[in-house]
Chain A
Amino acid sequence: MASPESAANPPLIELDGVGKSFGTVTALDGISIVVRHGEVHCLLGDNGAGKSTLIKILSGVHQPTAGTLRIDGAPTMLQSPREALDRGIAAVFQDLAMIPLMSITRNFFLGREPVLGRFLTRRIDMKRADAIVFSELANMGITVRDPQQAVGTLSGGERQCVAIARAVYHGARVLILDEPTSALGVHQASIVLRYIAQARARGIGVIFITHNINHAYPIGDVFTLLNRGRTHGTFRKSEITEAEVLDIMAGRRDLKSLQVDLDRLTAENAVRLH
């Protein structure tokens, strides 16, 4: 997927030197990333790398304490998840995506229910909602017998897909996916990945947060590596191999430089002994 960094494809969302501290603890420091139309931007990092703080800033849960967030080129301070949604930025959270005891339809339209009537007769248009859910899910190859069945009856992969379909349906231009595949088996994960590819083909900018390079590399266009609240660089797919990404993630560069130091020390010791 070639997406030239040109004026033809301006950034959808842009972080410029963004930082976030909670009191004296710095969770993020100097993060700069750019997300464009039809591009999957993978954020890779180990636990505690600052991935979840970054998602919360992008989705309006937290406000950055340093740097600027630009949407369509205009500096913006997102005050709430609702505001982020209204600007077309939707986050699908790892385990909080759906409410298991509520029906698929009720979950799908939660917070954005289609209504009929006015004042006292104002009500959810459940028929239309059911029909939309049924066709949206059928479009991505998930057949539900009854859109009114509880989300808890779906498998993990199906739940993630419903959550993503919900975000796309409600007009997301930027989709933030927090570890969408980490709790899934190989088959389920591939369903989700295929759906991410579909979303990209529709021109949606996807931010894919994961620590699993096997899931990220096949689908990613751009990779940003996070470690302890800082970026270790952003690479296009053409600039980096899967092994190199893994190297940086696993901190193997650190180990290599350690090896060099050790070799030098041994050599010096050998000289001294002679």
Chain B
Amino acid sequence: MSDAAVNLSAGDAAQPASRFTRMMKRSLRRPELGSFGATIFVFLFFAVTAGNSGLFSALGIVNFLQVSAQLGILAAAVALLMIGGEFDLSLGSMIGFAGIVIGIAVTQFHLPIWLSVVIAFGVAILVGTANGMLVTRTRLPSFIVTLAGYFVLRGLSLATTRALTGRTQIPYITRNTTETAFVSLFGGKFGGPLFTWLGHMGWIGIKADGTPLVSGIPMSVAWWLGLTALATWILVKTEFGNWIYAVGGDAQAARNVGVPVGRVKILLFVGTACAATLFAVIQVLETGSADTLRGTQKEFESVIAAVIGGNLLTGGYGSAIGAMFGALIFGTVEMGIFYTGIDTDWFMVFLGLMVVLAVLFNNFIRRKATEAR
């Protein structure tokens, strides 16, 4: 009798834990847990303090989604790079540079917009490869290598634009274009009919002519969600994702089992440069102009979003979904402070404190994740 009981319990211990407890335990160890909680907190906070200010009206929501989406596009790629254990400080300058490439190709060389965009992505692949090669070949910290790119690309943007146009801005890129479908793929809006219907039903504000105040959700939101889904798929499901974690967790150990460490890192740098270019394409095609100063500080803001999202500064741990929440918090707070009427200068103070909090929390989660159980 007692023997049977012993055998039974021993048998149980040898089985994997039940599906439910396993899922619970896993979700508690997820890197994005903290940012998910913080997102809920931020929404509750502004629901109370800015509930009637219009932050959560259709227009307000589209506003903070747009800010979040643009940053989120960068944060998804930056999260992958950070998990891979590297930084890209040239990201913001790459945004400006890609915009200038498109602007010059269209206005100076009269190339079609689609071709100019393709050229910009080609340049991004070159820049990313150069960053990655320099980091993997010289074994210098990527912080230093990409700091060089930060200055070189910004300087190149300024110098070439001024030499070719005499100014530092390139306006009228999309004026009189016939490529409306291509332009609206990046700079357009989606969900128009839904908003028209919502306006009809009287659920959202409408203009005098009966069209809704908000005519659709910016395409950047679709790109943001799509890119986050892609990055998550890569991280969680593919071999390459496994290698990203390994390269950031312990490059030497990864190399010893045959992971092509250099190639993984180079591809991650190409990823951030391409995300910066996508950001630039969206901005250029939304506004119809390019500016050499576009993208300033984005290299830091995207790192902030990734860190708030639970990505470790030291690499090897994190998630793209976390980065999405990080970007959402960033956008919501930036717009929320504006709507509540607090002096927007306080936003930076908040950001700084948020980063410190997030890093402390991440370290705590990491310790939990490797604690013996």
- Output the least CB separation between B245 and chain A (Å): 5
Are B259 and A111 in contact, CB atoms less than 8 angstroms apart? yes
Whether the Cβ atoms of B249 and A81 lie closer than 8 Å is no
B371 within 8 A of A: yes
A82 to B256, CA, bound (A): 8
Which residues of A are found within 8 Å of B238, using beta-carbon distances? 122-124
Does B25 touch A at the CB level, under 8 Å?
yes
Would you call B17 and A146 a contact (CB within 8 A)? yes
Total interface residues on B, using CB and 8 Å? Answer: 34
Partner of A99, one of B233, B246, B258: B246
Instruction: From B16, B237, B252, B371, give the contact of A96 (CB < 8 A).
Output: B252
Once A102-B249, A111-B257 are accepted as A-B contacts, the answer to whether A149 and B373 lie under 8 Å apart by CB is yes
Q: Residue of A at shortest CB range from B312?
A: A101
Tell yes or no: A203 within 8 A of B by CB: no
Q: Does B185 contact A (CB under 8 A)?
A: no
Whose C-beta in chain B lies nearest to the C-beta of A145? B17
B259 touches A147 (CB 8 A): no
Interface residues of A in 148-206 (CB under 8 A from B): 148-155
Q: Do A100 and B372 have beta carbons less than 8 Å apart?
A: no
Complex contact B239–A99 (CB within 8 A): no
Contact B372 A153 (CB under 8 A): yes
Q: How far is the CA of A91 from the CA of B245 in the complex (A)?
A: 21
* B window 122-171: CB within 8 A of A: none
| Distance between Cα atoms of A147 and B25 in the complex (Å) | 12
Q: Indicate with 1 or 0, residue by residue over B222-253, a CB within 8 angstroms of chain A CB atoms.
A: 00000000000100011100110110011011
In the complex, the answer to whether A143 meets B237 with C-beta atoms within 8 Å is: no
Question: Which residues of A have CB within 8 Å of B4?
Answer: none
Tell me whether A138 and B14 are in contact in the complex, defined as CB-CB below 8 angstroms, given that A59-B256, A113-B242 are known contacts. yes
Residues of A within 8 A of B371 (CB): 152-153
| A85 partner residues in chain B, CB cutoff 8 A | 257-258
Contacts of A106 in B (CB 8 A): 242, 245-246
Any chain A CB within 8 A of the CB of B255? yes
By beta carbon, the residue of chain B nearest A126 is: B237
Against B, the Cβ 8 Å flags (1 = close, 0 = not) of A18-30 are 0000000000000
Q: A96-B252, A145-B17 are in contact. Are A152 and B257 (CB under 8 A)?
A: no
Set of chain A residues within 8 Å of B249, measured between Cβ atoms: 99-102
A99 touches B16 (CB 8 A): no
Say whether B115 faces chain A, with CB atoms less than 8 Å apart. Answer: no
Cα–Cα, bound, A81→B255 (Å): 7
Is B13 in contact with chain A by the CB < 8 A criterion? Answer: yes
Known: A102-B246, A145-B17. A113 touches B252 (CB 8 A): no
* Cross-chain contact B242 with A124 (CB below 8 angstroms): yes
Taking a contact as CB atoms closer than 8 A, the residue among A101, A124, A130 that contacts B370 in the complex is A101
Which residues of chain A come closer than 8 Å to B317, judged between CB atoms?
A: 101
Is B366 close to A, CB under 8 A?
yes
Assess whether A77 is interfacial by the CB under 8 Å rule: no
| Residue B22, interface by CB 8 Å | yes
A187 to chain B, nearest CB (A): 15
Q: Is the CB of A99 within 8 A of B370?
A: no
Given contacts A110-B254, A111-B258, A113-B239, contact A100 B17 (CB under 8 A): no
Say whether A147 contacts B370, CB under 8 Å.
no
From A81, A101, A146, A150, contact of B256 by CB (8 A): A81
Q: With an 8 A cutoff between CB atoms, is A71 at the interface? A: no
* Alpha-carbon separation in the docked complex, A130 to B15 (Å): 12
Q: Is B369 part of the contact surface with A, judged by Cβ < 8 Å? A: yes
Set A91, A110, A146, A153: member contacting B242, Cβ < 8 A: A110
A residues in contact with B99, CB < 8 Å: none
Residues of B within 8 Å of A101, CB to CB, are 245, 249, 316-317, 366, 369-370
Q: Are A150 and B369 in contact (CB under 8 A)?
A: yes
Chain B residues with CB under 8 Å of A80's CB are 258
Known: A143-B14, A146-B17, A149-B373. A96 touches B258 (CB 8 A): no
A235 at the binding interface (Cβ < 8 Å): no
Specify which chain B residues have a CB less than 8 angstroms from the CB of A98 in the assembled complex: 253
CB distance from A259 to the nearest CB of B (A): 45
Nearest chain-B residue to A97 (Cβ)?
B253
What residues on A are CB-neighbors of B29 within 8 Å?
150
Interface residue? B207 (CB, 8 A): no
Point out the residues of chain A lying under 8 angstroms from B239, CB to CB.
113, 115, 122, 124
Per-position 1/0 for A103-115, Cβ under 8 A of B: 0001001111101
Smallest distance from the beta carbon of B313 to chain A beta carbons, Å?
13
| Bound Cα distance from A209 to B75, whole angstroms | 45
Going nearest first, the 7 A-B pairs with the smallest beta carbon separation are A152-B370, A82-B258, A99-B249, A123-B237, A111-B258, A111-B257, A113-B239
Write 16 A-B pairs (CB below 8 A) sorted by A numbering. Answer: A59-B256, A81-B255, A82-B258, A85-B258, A96-B250, A101-B369, A106-B246, A110-B257, A111-B257, A112-B257, A123-B233, A146-B22, A148-B22, A149-B373, A151-B370, A152-B370
| 4 further interface pairs, Cβ-Cβ under 8 Å (given A101-B370, A152-B369) | A96-B250, A134-B16, A143-B13, A155-B372
